[in-house]
Amino acid sequence: MRTYREIHGERKKGIRLALLASVVMVMLMLQACGNNAASNTGASSAAGGNNTAEAAGSEPAGKVPAVLNFGYIGSNKLNVPGGAEGWGFYKGIIQEELKKYGITEVKLTGFPNGPDQTESLISGRLDFGSLGDTPAIIAYASGAKTRLISQSSAHTVGYLIGKKDGPKTVKELQGKTIAIQKGSFMHRYIVGLLKQEGVTDYKLVHMLTPDATAALARGDVDATTNVGIPALKLIDQGYTHLDDASSHPDLLGSSATVVSEDYLAKFPDFPKVWNEAREKALADLKQHEDEYYQFLAEINDTTPELAKQVNPISDIKDTAFTEEGTKLLEGTKNFLVEEKLAKKDFNISDWQLQ
């Protein structure tokens, strides 16, 4: 027969074993909960909550918004610009490249001029956009938080068109009225041209292209400015070709692709990603030249032959920046500062992201 001490000892041993088993069970449950929490966190990040998505690759690259908002100058039924950018969007090449980084939608918006586009960029309605160098420089000099990430073209030709039976030379614009788009490349071209020609007494009135063309037809203005195919159409209709920037290399315009600093904070690698996607679109464009000129003809409501004459593929730059383009930017910036069209001077290299 067992003694009281033996029975009591066995009971204490059983209690210790039960407590140990309970502790082990609790630890196993906590570990399982932790694993589940980690798994759920990974799934949430991959889904990219708050309309964002992880950049592609094994290393997390921060949150990239799934929707990218792009602005360009012009309006057409295809809702795309010309150049390598427009071709890339039209063929879906750029969209496919951007999808690799979690960008699932690109919203394109056309604007009548550069100043209107920069307002949308500053307000946050756009993430980035391509426009003329003059409005982009004026905006940056006024404090716009943008960075220049490429110049796809450095050969924009502005035209000065006189009314029928009006001035026949630039010098005859002394005392006359000229319609321009204030703050645009054509504004810079006209002011520079008139200065070179010694014309000091003139009046500039701000009008968008449709209004300026109508005013020219009525004779309300003596001259107006335009670019490319619309300018050539006016000349074909009998309006006077007073001048164009092809005779003044220092007055040529260039394009500027700028991105907001707010967007760069979300996607620091965007300039590299964008330029690589654009270069891929350009490479494809060069393999389909006839189709590209047909595309240009459609968005400009003209013929492929005229599109080729005005916008040859050779004008499209295959790198983000060139020495020629940067020199043109410097000259335009210096002119705008001198004429007090830009609020302050700055170094182009501080604005560029290379």
Mean pLDDT for 119-136 is 96
Closest CA to 184 of 113, 243, 259, 122: 113
pLDDT value for 187: 94
Residue reference for tokens 């003329």: 132
Mean pLDDT for 268-288 is 98
Residue 245: pLDDT above 80?
yes
And the tokens for 28? 């196993």
Mean pLDDT for 304-312 is 95
What share of the chain has pLDDT > 70, as a percent?
82
Residue reference for tokens 């991959």: 46
pLDDT-derived band at 62 (thresholds 50, 70, 90) equals low
Q: CB of 238 within 8 A of CB of 255? A: no
Show the CA angle centred on residue 279, arms to residues 277 and 282, nearest 5°.
115
SS3 at position 110 = strand
Parse the chain into domains and list their residue ranges. 63-155+253-345, 158-251
Mean pLDDT for 28-50 is 35
Higher pLDDT, 22 or 336: 336
158-251 shares the fold of 63-155+253-345: yes
SS3 at position 54 = strand
CB contact burial 29-51 (16+ within 10 A = b; e otherwise): eeeeeeeeeeeeeeeeeeebeee
pTM of this structure = 0.80
pLDDT value for 354: 83
Show the CA angle centred on residue 83, arms to residues 82 and 85, nearest 5°.
90
Cα 66 from Cα 104, distance rounded (Å) = 5
In this structure, which CATH number among 3.10.150.10, 3.40.190.10, 3.40.50.300, 3.90.420.10 belongs to the domain 158-251?
A: 3.40.190.10
**Domain 63-155+253-345 falls under CATH 3.20.20.70:** no
pLDDT digits (tens, 9 = 90+) for 310-319: 999 999 999 9
